[in-house]
Structure 1
C-alpha cells in the first residue's frame, strides 16, 4: 500500500489525461464550468472518468480532497 498522498498530477493520470504541469494548467483554463454546472455533470468527461470522480468524492478520503480541488479550479472563473 502506498503512503503517497494523491496530488492533482495523480488525479490526471488516473483520468487518463496528460499530467504535466502545463497540460493541467491548460485543461483548467480551457474547461471552465458555469457556476450551475456540477463537476460530475460536465460534458467533457467520459463515463469512466465521471464514475471515477464520483467514487472518489463518495469515498470522502484524501482523493476526495484532490477532486474538490479540481472542482474549485474548474469553477474559478464562473459567475454566480
Structure 2
C-alpha cells in the first residue's frame, strides 16, 4: 500500500465531494460527531454508492483504508 497516493482531498474527490481543504473542513464540522457506535460507512449522510465504497475499502483493508480511518477519527 502506498498511503502517500491517498490524501483526504483524493478521498473526497473519489466520493464525489468537494475536495478543497476548506470544503473538507466544513464537511467534517457539519457532520461530526458520528453517533455513538455508528460505523463510518453507516452514517446517514452518505449516498448508497459512497457507503458501498467506504464499506468495501474498510473490510478489504485496501489502499484507501488509511485515509478512511483518518476521516473516521476526525468525525468522531
Normalised by the size of structure 2, how large is the TM-score? 0.87
Match of 1:66 in 2: 67
Which structure would you say has the larger Rg?
A: 1
Separation in 1, partners of 2:50, 2:42: 11
Separation in 2, partners of 1:54, 1:34: 17
Gaps of 5+ in 2: none
Separation in 2, partners of 1:36, 1:54: 15
Normalised by the size of structure 1, how large is the TM-score? 0.83
Kindly indicate which of the two structures has a greater share of residues assigned to helix: 2
Separation in 2, partners of 1:11, 1:63: 8
Match of 1:17 in 2: 17
Separation in 2, partners of 1:54, 1:37: 13
Question: Which aligned runs of 4 or more in structure 1 are off by greater than 6 angstroms?
Answer: none
Q: How does 1:1-80 map to 2 (within 5 A)?
A: 5-32=5-32, 33-75=34-76
How many angstroms does 1:34 deviate by? 2.0
For this pair of structures, how many residues does the alignment match?
A: 73
Match of 1:78 in 2: none
Gaps of 5+ in 1: 76-80
